[in-house]
Structure 1
Amino acid sequence: MTMEKKLLTPKALAELLGLAEQTIYNRHSTGGDLPQAIKLGRRLRFHPADVDSWLECQRKPAVPPVLSPHSAPSARRPGRPTNEEQIAVRLSL
């Protein structure tokens, strides 16, 4: 019986995800978002199938937001008034 895939080390997982190796350890110790880990003695290992399924769960469907014609315009952030607002104030004086 041969193993098709080897278990991933935290370093290999970090390279795969584009994270720092320390981030993998930090997330594991704080219960952060990571694939299920296997502890072999004091060492962490990750099964490639668990990593693949975890990555698939992380994907978000690309659904564009639905805009209703009756939806209210978004509130503006406070700041300088628009040119239209400035002209309206000048005309009302």
Structure 2
Amino acid sequence: MADRRLTVAGAAAAPRTLPSRYLTPDDLVVMFDLPSVETVYQWRRKRTGPRGFRVGRHLRFDPEDVRAWVDAQREGVAA
């Protein structure tokens, strides 16, 4: 898991670069420096975070949906 976290953290540090695989809630915690994975689940319950989907019992996020969500968040912020 440590290797995956380093990969995701490295991808998040590069400008406009996201992994080409589907993201897990843990990936979002690392990418956005969130306090816990519970934050991601709260976003899902409140329908305020990026669009996710289930693969069996596992929650996944499409990197393009995460990018679109980030862009939408940026539009609401004054420069």
Instruction: Classify the secondary structure of the residue corresponding to 1:15.
Output: helix
Pair 1:27-2:43 in alignment: yes
Q: Normalising to structure 2: TM-score of the pair?
A: 0.65
Match of residue 60 from structure 2: 45
State the partner residue of 1:11. 26
Amino acid at match of 2:43: R
TM-score normalized with structure 1 length: 0.56
Q: Which runs of 5+ in 2 are unaligned?
A: 1-18
Q: RMSD over aligned Cα, in angstroms?
A: 1.5
Deviation at 1:17, TM superposition (A): 1.2
Answer 1 or 2: higher relative contact order, Cα 8 Å, separation at least 6: 2
Of the two, which has the highest radius of gyration?
A: 1
Q: Kindly indicate which of the two structures has a greater share of residues assigned to helix.
A: 2
Q: Report percent identity of matched pairs.
A: 34
When the two structures are aligned, how many residues end up with a matched partner?
Answer: 58
Which residue identity lines up with residue 23 of structure 1 in the other structure?
T
